[in-house]
Chains A and B, each alone.
Chain A
């Protein structure tokens, strides 16, 4: 197991590639790096093709007889449907600028984890099958036959890419290996080659409403448990509503935050914030998931799962939608939802009921980010805040890949944090904002069986945290992502013990002065709030 590997062993990383070229080196599939295959019934119950039983370590993956044909037809179809894919197959000059930008390469040294090679794995098939030069000249033109071994290699490395887009930031042509991975995974899904950590949440989300498969009553109960926790720690009783027609706002957030630490504290933060400002909002048990593991499966599946949010907003007759803190969720909401399932002409352009601010940037999609909403509230002095309750914490902020490189919400969280915490320290410039590093476990790769690659991929982020931990004593990584909250604790525990992970809304709620609150000696985690001298900035 990865956890048994010492840091020293893990850090034996060589960025120099081996002698033998990548085309001539067959893939070696290793435990600790890959995730378990999808259970066939989870594939069939959402109507996806070629579900079958197989084991990545087996020689024979039990593929359908015409698997190559399915692969090529799938590829052809996607070349015709996505200009991005077609261009990215053609114009890479192999300059290598992207090579050392990928956290998986930096953490593993595996040369096939260089974004350019990851893409070349598929590009070589493209050249062989879809270009004249490749058909005639073969490997001389960089072409490669699609053999079972090559297919395995594609699977192995497309599920070692978290679709973080860091490579695309540095590419002089904007080649986005994430896009290639997304489409590559889509093609693999035609052959029934998904991983279960993605497929099962997809199936749950489709049938039950959320990734975790929380049925309506459980979803409600879980939130009510958290409400009870708030009552005991804060002394305020909150009555959230569910599936309530006529509310002004529908609030959706990833189900992970309903379920597990430390995400639940973020969710408690939402409950308190909305109570504090008296927002007329409702939860939904039907649209009880705003994350979207369908996006890691296929565009079609992403659309199918995403459809519930608008559908529910329409049924309940709300005016607009607020979305919680999550990275990949916001990639889908920001860049895809309106296209997938819009136009949302049954909703109104979001206007903050408290400040009157019109959210111009959500004029069409009618859905705003909780951090935008909170930042606007703070700016207008609508929150009563006592930041000294967070004085004992030294906080840094981890930008999530998707909200940074597929949206650009960078200042809002910083503004919010700076208003609710006294001690905020940035990690080095090359590791934050648009250059941020992935947590190491995004895009559905946050299983436990692939812990080694998760920790490896998490190294660059953790290493930057370590830097501020050692330099400034940072003990808290704030984030606006449910996956971060689920996975960073493991990475921190391994690489930088003593650093905890908190959603921004948790920090906000700790600082909120609630009406009728008792003496606030406990934070949302039920821990004593340490008293700091004078509460002054150090």
Chain B
């Protein structure tokens, strides 16, 4: 059910601009209003969410330690997996965010004739890594369409990305990785019973949405060509806050733009916020220096304890009988 609903939702998001952009006045809605609104919601929502998380304190220092701790001088510490310094934490976080360290650890358990076997399971790591990096590079590459003149490093990125020189215009490596990655993530959700079992509509929807964004983008580049000069002038207009709708921008662009706008607006209210959350995750971003540096809990309050004096008052006779020293005879 979640699959169908998500798919239908994405189809509607495709069909509305397809039909709507034929109506001349409405192009402004899809080409200017939606992107601005989407971007604003993304920005405000993201900031709000992160601030909201940050508002809750971190009362305890609870890193998940994934290796040998800092100990006696002759014992080798796992500095990245169990860091005890800020530098170590930065290293750990970098590995986690840029290379998906924890996911790389993944194993797959199987029960074979009464024995549990844990095989390596790197596909999820690989698929996720390909997808996320491709998405990121594609987003950055799009700067080309928003600024004039195009910065050298963006040109360079573009060149590298199309280095394979297959087809005209040349195919981007990241396009292939993105579509491949999303398809992989979608298929495993649909086909692996356990993953399907835990999936919610909120898991299918963004996958379909991103798949649609990728597909429309590729269609625009290779199959349903649209006036790229016009598109660029529209986007530069957006970026410079002089929005206008040039002539000759095809419906495919408005569909692509609407899909992206929806993704941006959806982002802060969804699990996609894992992008922000990972930076704040207390099991990863804290140093394991617990016994070295005291961590202060801002909401700590005095609690009722059973004091030694109360204890001795209750047990004094027994203690004396057993020859245990007491404070007051």
Pairwise interchain contact B75-A412, C-beta atoms closer than 8 A: yes
Q: How far is the CB of B89 from chain A (nearest CB, A)?
A: 12
Pairwise interchain contact B199-A94, C-beta atoms closer than 8 A: yes
Interface of B is mostly: loop
By CB atoms of chain A within 10 A, which of B67, B202, B203, B290 has the most? B290
Pairwise interchain contact B305-A304, C-beta atoms closer than 8 A: yes
B71 within 8 Å of A by Cβ? yes
> Looking at the complex, which one of B59, B102, B116 makes contact with A463 (CB distance below 8 Å)?
B116
- Residues of chain B lying within 8 A (CB to CB) of residue A242: 324-325
A538 within 8 Å of B by Cβ? no
B248 within 8 Å of A by Cβ? no
> Looking at the complex, which one of B55, B62, B118, B290 makes contact with A179 (CB distance below 8 Å)?
B62
- A80-B56, A87-B53, A91-B273 as given contacts; A96 in contact with B71, CB under 8 Å: no
B201 within 8 Å of A by Cβ? yes
Pairwise interchain contact B271-A90, C-beta atoms closer than 8 A: yes
Pairwise interchain contact A172-B100, C-beta atoms closer than 8 A: yes
- A81-B299, A83-B56, A463-B116 as given contacts; A95 in contact with B194, CB under 8 Å: no
Q: Which of A381-389, A401-409, A527-535 lies at the binding interface?
A: A401-409
What is the bound-complex CA distance between A187 and B323, given in angstroms? 43
Q: Mark B268-288, 1 if CB is under 8 A from A, else 0.
A: 010101100110111110001
Size category of the B interface is: 35 or more
Within 44-101 of B, Cβ neighbours of A (below 8 Å) are at: 49, 52-72, 74-76, 78, 81-82, 84, 96, 100
What is the chain A residue whose CB lies nearest that of B66? A434
Pairwise interchain contact B103-A97, C-beta atoms closer than 8 A: yes
- Residues of chain A lying within 8 A (CB to CB) of residue B297: 339-340
Q: Which of B105-113, B134-142, B164-172 lies at the binding interface?
A: B105-113
Q: How far is the CB of A29 from chain B (nearest CB, A)?
A: 21
Pairwise interchain contact A408-B59, C-beta atoms closer than 8 A: no
A57 within 8 Å of B by Cβ? no
Pairwise interchain contact A411-B76, C-beta atoms closer than 8 A: yes
Q: Mark A83-120, 1 if CB is under 8 A from B, else 0.
A: 11111001111111101110000100001001011001
B300 within 8 Å of A by Cβ? yes
Pairwise interchain contact B290-A338, C-beta atoms closer than 8 A: yes
Pairwise interchain contact A216-B62, C-beta atoms closer than 8 A: no
Within 375-434 of A, Cβ neighbours of B (below 8 Å) are at: 375-376, 379, 404-412, 415, 428, 430-431, 433-434
What is the bound-complex CA distance between A87 and B274, given in angstroms? 9
> Looking at the complex, which one of B68, B84, B106, B192 makes contact with A411 (CB distance below 8 Å)?
B68
Pairwise interchain contact A245-B62, C-beta atoms closer than 8 A: no
A141 within 8 Å of B by Cβ? yes
Within 195-218 of A, Cβ neighbours of B (below 8 Å) are at: 206-207, 209, 215-217
> Looking at the complex, which one of B63, B115, B294, B322 makes contact with A220 (CB distance below 8 Å)?
B322
By CB atoms of chain B within 10 A, which of A99, A117, A173, A176 has the most? A173
What is the bound-complex CA distance between A14 and B201, given in angstroms? 25
Q: How far is the CB of A414 from chain B (nearest CB, A)?
A: 10
Q: Mark B12-33, 1 if CB is under 8 A from A, else 0.
A: 0000000000000000000000
B311 within 8 Å of A by Cβ? yes
> Looking at the complex, which one of B61, B106, B324 makes contact with A217 (CB distance below 8 Å)?
B324
By CB atoms of chain B within 10 A, which of A87, A245, A411 has the most? A87
Within 258-289 of A, Cβ neighbours of B (below 8 Å) are at: 285-286
B191 within 8 Å of A by Cβ? no
- Residues of chain B lying within 8 A (CB to CB) of residue A467: 115
What is the bound-complex CA distance between A288 and B208, given in angstroms? 59
What is the chain A residue whose CB lies nearest that of B49? A90
B197 within 8 Å of A by Cβ? yes
Q: Which of B173-181, B210-218, B222-230, B313-321 lies at the binding interface?
A: B313-321
Q: Which of A354-362, A442-450, A510-518 lies at the binding interface?
A: A354-362
Pairwise interchain contact A463-B115, C-beta atoms closer than 8 A: yes
Pairwise interchain contact B294-A364, C-beta atoms closer than 8 A: yes
Pairwise interchain contact B318-A216, C-beta atoms closer than 8 A: yes
- Residues of chain A lying within 8 A (CB to CB) of residue B72: 357, 359, 372, 375-376, 379, 412
What is the bound-complex CA distance between A79 and B322, given in angstroms? 49
Within 249-297 of B, Cβ neighbours of A (below 8 Å) are at: 269, 271, 273-274, 277-278, 280-284, 288, 290-297
What is the bound-complex CA distance between A303 and B300, given in angstroms? 10
- Residues of chain B lying within 8 A (CB to CB) of residue A359: 72
Q: Mark A330-362, 1 if CB is under 8 A from B, else 0.
A: 000011101110110000000000000101111
- Residues of chain A lying within 8 A (CB to CB) of residue B325: 242-245
A175 within 8 Å of B by Cβ? yes
B151 within 8 Å of A by Cβ? no
A44 within 8 Å of B by Cβ? no
- A140-B201, A170-B105, A304-B303 as given contacts; A17 in contact with B194, CB under 8 Å: yes
Q: How far is the CB of B162 from chain A (nearest CB, A)?
A: 30
What is the bound-complex CA distance between A120 and B200, given in angstroms? 11
A149 within 8 Å of B by Cβ? no
Pairwise interchain contact B283-A168, C-beta atoms closer than 8 A: yes
A184 within 8 Å of B by Cβ? no
What is the bound-complex CA distance between A396 and B316, given in angstroms? 45
By CB atoms of chain B within 10 A, which of A16, A17, A91, A342 has the most? A91
Given contacts A83-B280, A207-B306, A216-B315, 14 further A-B contacts (CB under 8 A): A13-B111, A15-B194, A83-B53, A90-B53, A100-B107, A170-B106, A207-B314, A217-B324, A303-B303, A367-B291, A379-B72, A407-B288, A410-B67, A430-B107
Query: What are some 25 contacts across the A-B interface (CB < 8 A)?
Result: A11-B114, A13-B111, A79-B56, A82-B58, A83-B58, A84-B283, A87-B53, A96-B198, A117-B197, A165-B64, A170-B105, A172-B103, A174-B284, A207-B314, A215-B315, A216-B322, A244-B325, A286-B308, A308-B306, A361-B69, A365-B291, A379-B74, A404-B65, A409-B69, A463-B115
A residues neighboring B (CB under 8 Å): 7, 11, 13, 15-17, 21-22, 47, 79-87, 90-97, 99-101, 106, 111, 114, 116-117, 120, 131-133, 140-142, 165, 168-176, 179, 206-207, 209, 215-217, 220-221, 242-245, 285-286, 299-300, 303-304, 307-308, 311-312, 315, 334-336, 338-340, 342-343, 357, 359-365, 367, 372, 375-376, 379, 404-412, 415, 428, 430-431, 433-435, 459-460, 463-464, 466-467
